[in-house]
Amino acid sequence: MFYLYLPGQQDLYTRLFKEALPDWHIAVWPEEVNTEAVTHIAAWKPVEGFFSHFPNLQVVFALGAGVDRFVHRPDLPEHVTLIRLTDAGMAQQMTEYCLYGLLHYQRQMDRYQQLQHQQTWQPLETRLAKHTRVTILGLGKLGMSVAENLARLGYQVTGWSRNPRQSDLVRCVHGCETLDTLLPETDVLFSVLPATTETRYLLDATRLALLPKDSAIINAGRGSLIDQQALLALLNHDHFRFVLLDVFEQEPLDKTHPFWSHPKVLMTPHVAADTIPEEAVEQVAANVRALSNGLPVTGKVDRSQGY
What is the predicted pLDDT for the residue at 174?
96
Active-site choice (174, 200, 262, 270): 270
The identity of residue 13, as a single letter, is: Y
Model pTM?
Answer: 0.90
For 67, counting Cβ atoms within 10 Å of its Cβ (0-12 exposed, 13-18 middle, 19+ buried), the class is: buried
* β pairing state of 215-219 and 240-245: parallel
109-117 helix and 90-106 helix, angle to the nearest 10 degrees: 50
Q: What is the CATH number of domain 90-267?
A: 3.40.50.720
Q: What is the pLDDT of residue 185?
A: 97
Name the DSSP letter for residue 245.
Answer: E
Please write the tens of the pLDDT for every residue from 270-293: 999 998 999 999 999 999 999 999
* pLDDT for the residue 64: 80
What's residue 10's pLDDT?
A: 87
Give 164-211 pLDDT, tens digit per residue: 999 999 999 999 899 999 999 999 999 999 988 889 999 999 999 999
Catalytic pick from 84, 165, 222, 241?
222
Domain pair 2-88+275-292 / 90-267, same fold: yes
- What is the C-alpha separation between 7 and 79, in angstroms, rounded? 26
May I ask the CATH architecture of the domain 2-88+275-292? Answer: 3-Layer(aba) Sandwich (3.40)
> How confident is the model at residue 284, as a pLDDT?
96
Q: Flag residues of the chain having pLDDT under 70.
A: none
Q: What is the pLDDT of residue 303?
A: 86
Measuring CA to CA, which residue among 227, 176, 174, 167 is closest to residue 198?
A: 176
Say whether 270 is catalytic. yes
State the Cα–Cα distance between residues 47 and 45, nearest whole angstrom. Answer: 6
- Rounded Cα–Cα distance for residues 21 and 289 (Å): 9
Q: What share of the chain is helix, strand, coil (3-state, %, to 5)?
A: 35, 20, 45
Strand intervals (E) in the chain: 2-5, 26-28, 40-43, 59-62, 81-84, 133-137, 156-161, 171-174, 188-191, 215-219, 240-245, 265-267
> What pLDDT sits at residue 287?
96
- Specify whether 127 is catalytic: no
Domain ranges (residues) in the chain: 2-88+275-292, 90-267
pLDDT of residue 259: 98
Q: Which pLDDT value is given to residue 87?
A: 81
